[in-house]
């Protein structure tokens, strides 16, 4: 029944945005202006979870390293005593001499990295930066960058662009590439004009995880004003699980 004054019933009215407390209004504006973060595909999340850039602990392997035109073949076995884990098999394309063996052992102290020094760890990757570049039914390629704490002014990762090639069927990282975004001087007297790093990995199976297969790096720049170019290729083979 209408009131005697003819006014409408006093139904509760929704509060306008202007009536919200200022902090509530600010939160509403920020939430409505920010795009929703795209969720990573399941195969990419699984591949990143199992990704190890270098040789995982507990694996022996043979490394064939070619630096420009010179080749070195060595064996790493973590099950041996710390001073005996590295064995030089060939150098300069032949069996090493006793003097070369002695010099080699001094250059390989316990704890030496297996293969080229890792450029990054999987925790350095910023998952939210990964964007799809291309894909087909079997694989996809993503481009991304690294976390802020890994890319300070004095850190190399801040100057590199990351690309990941991911297998979809049995998710793993097939390949990553790092490329220099622009010329860069990491220290006084060193100018990096070009840097390209590419690493490939074997598919995992029931007996072993994904393991490094090849590592290729190309560098062009100046060292103490001397033009320098270097190509380094490492091939991994004969992996064996050790106790």
Pairing of strands 70-76, 131-135: unpaired
Q: Mean per-residue pLDDT for 49-59?
A: 93
Q: Is 225 left (phi over 0), alpha (psi -120 to 50) or beta?
A: left
Residue whose C-alpha is closest to residue 222's, from 194, 198, 196: 194
DSSP string, 153-173: TT-GGGGEEEEEEEETTTTEE
pTM reported for the whole predicted model: 0.79
Q: Model confidence over 97-153: pLDDT tens digits?
A: 999 999 999 999 888 889 887 678 889 999 999 999 999 999 999 999 999 888 766
**pLDDT by residue (tens digit) across 181-212?**
888 888 888 888 999 999 999 999 999 999 99
């Amino acid at each position: 029944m209408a009131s005697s004054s003819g006014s409408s019933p006093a139904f509760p009215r929704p509060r306008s945005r202007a009536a919200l407390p200022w902090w509530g209004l600010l939160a509403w504006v920020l939430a409505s202006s920010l795009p929703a973060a795209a969720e990573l595909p399941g195969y990419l999340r699984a591949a990143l979870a199992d990704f190890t850039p270098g040789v995982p602990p507990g694996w022996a392997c043979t490394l064939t390293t070619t630096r420009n035109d010179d080749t070195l073949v060595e064996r790493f076995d973590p099950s041996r005593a710390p001073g005996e884990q590295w064995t030089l098999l060939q150098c300069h394309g032949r069996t090493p001499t006793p003097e070369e063996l002695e010099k080699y052992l001094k250059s390989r102290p316990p704890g030496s990295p297996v293969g080229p020094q890792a450029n990054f760890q999987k925790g350095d990757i910023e998952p939210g930066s990964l964007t799809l570049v291309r894909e087909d039914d079997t694989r996809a390629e993503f481009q991304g960058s690294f976390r802020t704490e890994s890319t300070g002014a004095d850190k190399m990762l801040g100057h590199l662009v990351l690309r990941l090639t991911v297998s979809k069927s049995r998710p793993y990282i097939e390949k990553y590439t790092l490329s220099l975004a622009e010329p860069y001087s990491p220290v006084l007297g060193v100018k990096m004009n070009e840097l390209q790093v590419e690493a490939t990995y074997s598919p995992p199976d029931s007996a072993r995880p994904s393991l490094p297969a090849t590592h290729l790096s190309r560098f062009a720049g100046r060292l103490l004003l001397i033009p320098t170019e270097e190509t380094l290729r490492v091939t991994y083979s004969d992996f064996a699980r050790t106790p």
